[in-house]
Structure 1
Amino acid sequence: MVKRKTNPEELKRSIRFKAKSIEDMKKLAAVRSVSVSDIVREFVEKGLAVDGYKNDIDFITEIIHKELKEVLEPQINRIVKMLMKIGKVSAGTMYANLSLIQLISDEDQEAFYEMINRSLRLGVEYMKKKDVEIDQYLGQAEEVGKDSRRVK
């Protein structure tokens, strides 16, 4: 082994290791043709780098979350406002349709309310369907027609 010159920026430190660790380091040093001290320094530097990386990753994650929030929040708010408008229009349409049906219907009040209940139950069934099921369902006019007759 070649004796290494002392670097004024390096400090010496004595460390105790388990005997098995010393043997493993000697084997690794022999394979790499370096000193055990070089192996220890390499592992310490790697360990410190990993620890520093962990601290950096938390900082980077915080920045990413902040940036995503700044980008996504306006879009999410826009979508929420659109959904609110759609909900209001849908409710208005539902009540207008019910008023029209009541105006032209010969049904008594009890039959009318039963029709509303059946319509609402069908609406709930429809909303429980998965996207794929809805696509299939809407592609079958006969099935949709049968369901609309269930309302009467």
Structure 2
Amino acid sequence: MAKKSDRIITSVYLTKEMCNEIDKLATRENVSRNEQIRRFIEKGLDIEGYTQNVDFISSIIRQEFTAVYHIEDIKAVAEQQTNRLAKMLMKSGKIDAAGFFLLIKVLMNLAHEGTEDQFDQMLNEAVTLGVDYMQKKDFQINSFLQDTDNLRNLAEKL
């Protein structure tokens, strides 16, 4: 608490409602009206100082972040990783296509019983099912693959 010589007397005009609320709080906390007003002023000053400190610290963090991580550097890294993923997907697509055509060749060699039209129909239906599979959302894939009865039925239709 400040010494009496450090204190300055000042006048403050309050509304009746404000004065009544201050008196209620002062009575509850067993202090004088003046002490309660001083506490409010101290709290207000603390909050204002805290807000200024937060703003100051935020600006420093923002400045440091942008000094360390330049947006162009982040874009370059993201683009590099995107290109890497695209190349990996291309490799995966090529091996998938090779497996697909190998399967067609194996089926052609094994399927001497049916006609060429039946084979073409089977191939067309398989491609349609593949396209349908690729159009499924991520959350649908697991349940689709775990439904073995449905997978068998789809395969039987081929």
Name the Cα RMSD after superposition: 4.0
Aligned counterpart for 1:88 among listed residues 87, 90, 99: 90
Could you tell me the percent identity over the aligned residues?
Answer: 21
Q: CA deviation at 1:49?
A: 2.2
For structure 1, the residue ranges without an aligned partner over 5 or more in a row are none
Write out per-residue CA displacement over residues 21-74 of structure 1, whole angstroms, 9 at most, x where no aligned residue: 11222232233332322211211221232233344445556749x4xx97xx7x
Count the aligned residue pairs: 136
Q: TM (normalized to structure 2)?
A: 0.57
Aligned counterpart for 1:123 among listed residues 134, 144, 149: 134
- Structure 1 residues 31, 98: CA separation in 2 closer, same or farther (over 3 Å shift)? closer
For structure 2, the residue ranges without an aligned partner over 5 or more in a row are 109-115
Q: Distance in 1 between matches of 2:56 and 2:9?
A: 33
- Structure 1 residues 139, 96: CA separation in 2 closer, same or farther (over 3 Å shift)? same
User: Which structure is higher in RCO with an 8 Å CA cutoff and minimum separation 6?
Assistant: 1
Counting only pairs closer than 5 Å after superposition, residues 8-87 of structure 1 correspond to structure 2 as 10-58=7-55, 63=61, 66=65, 83-84=85-86, 86-87=88-89
Partner of 2:99: 97
